């Protein structure tokens, strides 16, 4: 699978009254053609900041302060205005959580499709626009007869599907989805994601998928990147993330997620709270909450490096394969003890 | 901890009914289409029957708008049932009217909301939030007794060192910590019944589980009676002994949580559970067939099973009569014409 997009050492800062805050710090990853990459991590770890930066849709006070974003080998950060405009619609498009509220309430769906096509010289006349729009609605399972309806005549799930149809209007190569279904019920959520998956199989676009629901992420993605405090701490195959985590933080996340099936067991979560980005300690950013932290961890920052036959991890003491930690229960107990000691300090 | 909760012999003997709903029904007036037109009504809940117990948690699940919050709002006397009733320790709550009784009831039955920020006053310290109820409900005026109680409560909800936490303002705490403070407040008030409406849906994963564990502990060790309203059925499985599945204001399937989640029988529950994300599943797994229709609006005139319009197995009776309740396995109830 060749890389469609390659992000190298990306840094994004927010300029605040109290100085610069680095929300994304030296993040590198690739997304292959037709691949679905997930980004997971606690609120505020920088997922949306990355999503916006990839399309250069970030707005002040955000500032890309370093790195490269290579799209088919060309650096997006060097694009002039016209190239950028083309790139934003034709090559990539984005669906976000509140996307359904981005539909213009006083224009019909048909008109909004027409607007998109016209802006990109995709059509020569209105009739052609209507035909194309109908085809797109059909793709997301909305009866074409609803084309001339206004947004408020659709349910939330249907509106989100309309937005996805619009995102696909110009056949993008990369689709960025930032919590696209968070506000929806699980049945609609699954229907929409199944649809996106089918379309991806058909048109072979790549997807960057962001959600706080790790179970959903494991189901939908090929690979998953785990972020902590503005950094990527692990990238692994999605099935391995929960079964054979490399990073202690990933392990902690996996033990904070009750599942619908399988054995019922006590979960422990992760002690402590996320870092304040304006006051980042030296060494590993997770050290203060980590049950494996050693002296070295508090001093030296670990780099993201590949592990033999497994993913990449930024940790001085990556976890062994579960078969190797004699009893993963011992690890849990360890974790539990630490939790008792350091129970949420105020 | 879980294993202990599930050990029936532990809690059955003192299984005391706290809140009980009988044929609970509520209609809301819809906006009139014209001033002269007849008033029409939305039936938000239709004939709910459930019991809550001490040392026990009842989960209420179902899609948005199915009536989950409304049932808790009736229990806290925000809304009044159109017919049917809720009773507390055997007494119909509609009969609780004198100010003394109302005060006692409001102390005993507390709600916890989704947004822990909205429910704490940003202008006051944590100390203020916890001291007030201790003064009002327990008449504690002695300084050192007060300090002891405050410390005990904060320790119980896992916020230590208590001295530091007490002087903080809500915005200085994380979402999970604020939710712990709020649960601490229900302890300070001395509530027995806690109606938690999506208490963790705004919290991060790593923090969420701590709050669920705390609720579990309050239930187990202090005998609190919980209602847990949620979209997240996996967490319902984690803390609730009983679960009821609502669809369009109706209980369609209810009973022992493990039984409901591992062996769902109602066509709607089967659809709902098949859609819940789970690491052992794949996005390709097909959902049980259903007709992708919008959920109907129930009205007092509506008849039949509320799921009939979407149900692939609907029969003639389904559009005519509301199905009777049937116990299909011990502690497993269902309302569906396929099971009569
Ligand atoms: N406009 C802004 N000014 C200053 N700081 C900001 C701004 N927007 C975001 N940040 C900070 O940047 C960090 C990353 O934010 P971001 O929105 O990317 O997080 P996220 O991972 O998408 O979180 P969530 O899961 O809550 O959506 C956060 O710590 C946030 O406080
Ligand atoms: N005060 C009210 N007046 C009129 N209709 C109401 C009122 N409160 C609730 N409803 C309606 O009653 C139904 C049930 O609402 P409720 O808030 O209980 O749903 P819910 O299951 O809690 O949904 P969610 O998961 O979105 O919180 C909805 O159709 C809602 O629109
Ligand atoms: S580097 Fe050290 S502190 Fe950081 S996650 Fe790994 S073991 Fe924990
Ligand atoms: Mg975000
Ligand atoms: Mg609600």
Ligand 2: atom nearest CA of B29 is 4
Domain membership of residue B283 (yes or no) is: yes
Q: What integer best gives the mean pLDDT of chain B?
A: 90
Identify the sign of the CA torsion A116, A121, A126, A132. Answer: negative
What mean pLDDT do residues A229-245 have? Answer: 95
Per-residue pLDDT tens for B107-163?
999 999 887 667 789 999 999 999 999 998 889 989 999 999 999 999 889 887 888
pLDDT in tens, B191-209: 999 999 999 988 888 788 9
Report the domain count for chain B.
Answer: 1
pLDDT of residue B194: 97
Chain A residue numbers with beta carbons less than 8 Å from the beta carbon of B271 are 187
Identify the residue whose tokens are 């003064």.
Answer: B135
Is the pLDDT at A100 greater than 70? The verdict is no
pLDDT category of residue B84 using cuts at 50, 70 and 90: very high
What are the residue ranges of helices labelled H in chain A? Answer: 47-54, 81-86, 109-119, 126-139, 156-167, 186-203, 214-220, 238-243, 248-254, 295-299, 328-341
| Residue B301 included in any domain | yes
pLDDT score recorded for residue A139: 81
Residue B246's pLDDT band (cuts 50, 70, 90)? very high
CATH code of the domain in which B87 resides = 3.40.50.300
Residue A332 is predicted with a pLDDT of 61
Name the residue range of residue B265's domain. 16-31+39-120+192-206+223-339
Distance in Å, CA B114 to ligand 2 centroid: 15
Q: Given this model, what pLDDT does residue A2 score? A: 77
- For A4-26, give the secondary structure using H, E and C: EEEEEEEEEEEEECCEEEEEEEE
Q: How confident is the model over A221-249, as a mean pLDDT?
A: 96
Average pLDDT, chain A: 89
Query: Is B142 inside any structural domain?
Result: no
| Angstrom distance (rounded) from CA B276 to CA A198 | 19
pLDDT confidence of residue A99: 66
A69 Cβ closer than 6 Å to some ligand 1 atom:
no
Of B233, B287, B290, nearest to A260 by CB-CB distance is B233
CB neighbour class for B120 (10 Å; exposed up to 12, middle 13-18, buried from 19): buried
DSSP-assigned letter for residue A321: P
Q: Check residue B14 and give its pLDDT.
A: 58
How far CA B34 is from CA of A153, B27, B30, B158, B297, in Å, comes to: 20, 20, 11, 55, 20
B213 is a domain residue: no
Tokens 């610069």 identify what position?
A20
Question: Angle, to 10 degrees, between the axis of helix B126-138 and the axis of helix B175-189?
Answer: 10
pLDDT at A342: 47
Query: Closest Cα partner for A290 from A242, A229, A230?
Result: A229
Question: pLDDT per residue over A137-171, tens digit each?
Answer: 988 878 888 999 999 888 887 888 899 889 888 88
Return the SS3 of A262.
coil
User: Pocket around ligand 2: residues whose beta carbon is below 6 Å from it?
Assistant: B 28, 42, 44, 64-70
Q: Ligand 1 centroid vs A43 CA: distance in angstroms?
A: 8
Number of Cβ within a 10 Å radius of residue A256 = 20
pLDDT score recorded for residue A344: 41
- Partners of residue A212 in chain B, C-beta under 8 Å: 204-205
The verdict on residue B99 lying in a domain is: yes
ipTM of the complex: 0.88
| Residue B285 within any structural domain of the chain | yes
Question: For chain A, what are the domain ranges?
Answer: 103-169, 243-345
């Amino acid at each position: 699978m060749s890389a469609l997009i390659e992000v190298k050492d990306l840094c994004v800062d927010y300029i605040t009254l109290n100085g610069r805050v680095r929300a994304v710090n030296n993040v590198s990853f690739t997304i292959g053609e037709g691949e679905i990459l997930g980004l997971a991590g606690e609120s505020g770890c920088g997922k949306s900041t990355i999503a916006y930066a990839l399309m250069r849709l970030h707005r002040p006070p955000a500032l890309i302060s370093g790195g490269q974003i290579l799209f088919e080998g060309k650096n997006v950060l060097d694009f002039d205005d016209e190239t950028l405009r083309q790139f934003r619609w034709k090559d990539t498009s984005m669906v976000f959580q509140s996307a359904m509220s981005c539909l213009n309430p006083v224009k019909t769906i048909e008109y909004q499709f027409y607007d998109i096509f016209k802006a990109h010289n995709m059509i020569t006349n209105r009739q052609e626009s209507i035909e194309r729009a109908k085809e797109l609605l059909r793709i997301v399972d909305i009866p074409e007869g609803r084309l001339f309806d206004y947004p408020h005549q659709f349910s939330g799930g249907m509106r989100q599907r309309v937005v996805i149809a619009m995102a696909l209007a110009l056949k993008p190569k990369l689709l960025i989805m930032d919590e696209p279904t968070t506000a929806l019920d699980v049945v609609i959520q699954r229907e929409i994601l199944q649809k996106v998956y089918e379309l991806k199989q058909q048109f072979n676009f790549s997807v960057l998928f962001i959600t706080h629901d790790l179970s959903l992420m494991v189901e939908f993605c090929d690979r998953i990147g785990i972020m902590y405090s503005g950094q990527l701490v692990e990238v692994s195959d999605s099935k391995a993330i929960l079964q054979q985590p490399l990073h202690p933080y990933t392990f902690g996340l996996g033990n904070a997620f009750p599942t619908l099936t399988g054995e019922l067991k006590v979960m422990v979560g992760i002690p402590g709270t996320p870092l304040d980005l304006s006051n980042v300690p030296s060494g590993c950013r997770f050290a203060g909450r980590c049950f494996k932290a050693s002296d070295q961890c508090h001093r030296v920052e670990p780099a993201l490096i590949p592990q033999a036959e497994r993913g990449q991890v930024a940790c001085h003491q990556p976890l062994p394969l579960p078969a190797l930690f004699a009893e993963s229960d011992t690890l849990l107990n360890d974790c539990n003890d630490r939790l008792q000691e350091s129970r949420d300090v105020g | 901890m879980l294993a202990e909760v599930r050990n029936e012999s532990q809690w059955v003997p003192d299984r005391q009914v706290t809140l009980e709903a009988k044929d609970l029904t509520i209609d809301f007036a819809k906006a009139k289409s014209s001033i002269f037109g007849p008033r029409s009504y939305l039936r938000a809940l239709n004939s709910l029957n459930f019991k809550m117990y001490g040392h026990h948690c009842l989960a209420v699940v179902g899609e948005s708008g199915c009536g989950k919050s409304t049932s808790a709002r009736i229990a806290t006397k925000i809304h009044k049932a159109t017919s049917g009733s809720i009773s507390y320790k055997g007494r119909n709550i509609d009969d609780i009217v004198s100010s003394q009784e109302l005060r006692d009831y409001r102390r005993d039955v507390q709600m916890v909301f989704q947004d822990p920020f909205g429910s704490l006053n940003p202008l006051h310290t944590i100390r203020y939030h916890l001291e007030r109820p201790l003064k009002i409900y327990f008449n504690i005026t002695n300084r050192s007794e007060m300090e002891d109680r405050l410390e005990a409560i904060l320790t119980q909800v896992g916020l230590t060192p208590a001295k530091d936490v007490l002087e903080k303002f809500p915005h200085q705490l994380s979402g999970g910590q604020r939710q712990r403070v709020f649960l601490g407040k229900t302890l300070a008030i001395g509530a027995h019944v806690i109606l938690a409406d999506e208490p963790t849906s705004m919290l991060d994963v790593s923090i969420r589980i701590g709050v669920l564990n705390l609720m579990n502990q309050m239930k187990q060790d202090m005998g609190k009676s919980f209602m847990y309203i949620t979209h997240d059925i996996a967490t319902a499985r984690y803390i609730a002994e009983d679960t009821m599945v609502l669809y369009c204001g109706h209980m369609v399937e209810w009973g022992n949580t493990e039984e409901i989640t591992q062996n769902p029988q109602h066509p709607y529950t089967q659809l709902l559970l098949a859609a819940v994300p789970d690491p052992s599943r794949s996005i390709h797994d097909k959902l049980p067939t259903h007709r992708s229709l919008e959920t109907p609006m129930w009205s007092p005139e509506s008849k039949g099973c509320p799921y009939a319009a979407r149900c692939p197995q609907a029969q003639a009776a389904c559009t005519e009569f509301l199905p009777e309740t049937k116990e299909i396995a011990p502690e497993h109830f269902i309302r569906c014409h396929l099971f009569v």
